Amino acid sequence: MANKKQLAVLVALLALLVGPSAGLLGISISIGTGTDCVVFVGWPRLLFLRSLICGLLGQPYTPPIWRDPPTGAGLSVGYYNNSDYADSYCPGAEAAVRTAVQSAIDQQGRGIGAGLIRLFFHDAFVRGCDASVLLQSTALAGTGTEMEGGPNKDSLRGFEVIDAAKEATKAACGNRVSCADILAFAARDASDILSGGRISFPVPAGRKDGRESFANETVQLPGPDSSLQQLQTMFAAQGLSTEDMVTLSGAHSIGRARCLFFTGRLAAMDRDYAQRLDASCNGTGSPSNMVSQDPVTADVLDNQYYKNIDKFVLFGSDAVLISSPATKQQVDVNKANATSWEIDFAAAMVKMGKIGVKTALVPGETEIREVCSRVNA
């Protein structure tokens, strides 16, 4: 077994040499646990290696589990406004978060709002909406928390906005508002602001914060090279439908992306656009170069994304949305009807916010964190 592990590690090291995205993001294999074999799906262009590595470890790749749609049992709209529950009563909570988000956007620009929406998505898909993505260290993971995982490292932004919002809620009512709820409110507020008030929705709250976070669990996040089937499977594993996946992908009408994720597919894009991207990327896939995801309305959360598919989107995972009749039809509807997409997007954000929520305070497992980046002592 030791030899097999060494061989698998060798293959993984070789894989790092295969391409820039592989080198940056690496491969995650849970060697040593003896139960699982997981390899980033869709991040590096290394899908063919997945079964090889898992095979060498004698651990067949296990696809993710399909889950029922999340119910969000225990969450309620206006949760912090209910004076019947003294422990969670904090009527200024949502306003405090909104102010923090607005002031971050005023000071740093609209891109930070994109960062907050993505932060919420990356929290939801790993251990559910429990603010595990915000943790810098935990008892079991040490410093190898989700933020160190391939899809997150050197990529996520907006942590300081959540910290500022947390401080503001504490100033308003003490430590009553969970970091997980703050993240959900912040993503809602960013959606509202970046859409010019067109995407505005109430957020059910009452989430408690988790106490663990592991980098290797970020394999549950889809990557820019994911196939349609992988996207569908990974969303289904969270209880989200293919329709939710197509709807939520519209978030790629804002924010930025690093060149290494798309320079390999410039040939598949509109020729002029590809040339402009190539120039912005200085002809390289350097991770330090970034471009706007939407070349038309870069800072507005709108249905432009669907008009950009397939020649003006960056990732293979965007372009594949028109590779099946059903998803193409939804793309066409969203392209033609901004309002129906906006309504669907709001509903899908609420649904995503219900994934894996923890609503009971269980000593040692859940809490209201004092500081969002670390578990309570």
As annotated, the binding site includes 123, 126, 128, 130, 132, 146, 222, 252, 294, 297, 302
Q: Which tokens go with 242?
A: 């293919």
Give the residue nearest to ligand HEM (CB): 255
For residues 191 and 346, the answer to whether their CB atoms sit within 8 Å is: yes
CA distances from 37 to 5, 15, 32, 63 (A): 12, 16, 10, 10
Report in angstroms how near the CB of residue 11 gets to ligand HEM at its nearest.
Answer: 24
Q: Which is nearer to ligand HEM, 158 or 206 (CB)?
A: 158
Report in angstroms how near the CB of residue 214 gets to ligand HEM at its nearest.
Answer: 20
Interface positions with ligand HEM (CB under 6 A) = 111, 114-115, 117-118, 121, 155, 157, 222-224, 226, 231, 245, 248-249, 251-252, 254-258, 261, 315, 317
Q: CA 113, CA 75: separation in Å to the nearest integer? A: 24
Report in angstroms how near the CB of residue 82 gets to ligand HEM at its nearest.
Answer: 28
Q: Could you tell me which residues are annotated as the binding site for Ca(2+)?
A: 123, 126, 128, 130, 132, 146, 294, 297, 302
Q: Could you tell me which residues are annotated as the binding site for heme b?
A: 252
For residues 103 and 113, the answer to whether their CB atoms sit within 8 Å is: no
Report in angstroms how near the CB of residue 179 gets to ligand HEM at its nearest.
Answer: 18
Q: Which is nearer to ligand HEM, 178 or 226 (CB)?
A: 226
For residues 186 and 114, the answer to whether their CB atoms sit within 8 Å is: no
Q: Which of 82, 87, 76 is nearest to 361 (CA)?
A: 87
CA distances from 15 to 44, 59, 215, 227 (A): 9, 19, 19, 20
Report in angstroms how near the CB of residue 251 gets to ligand HEM at its nearest.
Answer: 3
Give burial (CB, 10 Å; 0-12/13-18/19+) of 210. buried
Q: Which is nearer to ligand HEM, 170 or 307 (CB)?
A: 307
The DSSP result for 232-298, as a single string, is HHHHHTTT--HHHHHHHGGGGGSSEEEGGGTGGGGGGS-HHHHHHHHHHTTTS--TT-EEES-SSST
Q: Which tokens go with 115?
A: 């960062």
Q: Which is nearer to ligand HEM, 27 or 248 (CB)?
A: 248
Task: Give, to the nearest 10 degrees, the angle between helix 338-352 and helix 179-194.
Answer: 170
Q: Which of 172, 167, 106, 102 is nearest to 373 (CA)?
A: 167
Catalytic-residue membership of 122 = yes
Q: Which residues pair with 205 in a beta bridge?
A: 76
Report in angstroms how near the CB of residue 167 gets to ligand HEM at its nearest.
Answer: 22
Backbone angles phi, psi at 169, to 5 degrees: -70, -35
Annotated catalytic residue, options 122, 208, 258, 351:
122
Q: CA 247, CA 303: separation in Å to the nearest integer? A: 10
For residues 362 and 124, the answer to whether their CB atoms sit within 8 Å is: no
> Residue 64: helix, strand or coil by DSSP?
coil
Report in angstroms how near the CB of residue 290 gets to ligand HEM at its nearest.
Answer: 6
Q: Which is nearer to ligand HEM, 140 or 296 (CB)?
A: 296
Say which DSSP state 371 is in: B
Q: Which is nearer to ligand HEM, 111 or 367 (CB)?
A: 111
Q: Which is nearer to ligand HEM, 56 or 348 (CB)?
A: 348
Query: What are the catalytic residues?
Result: 122
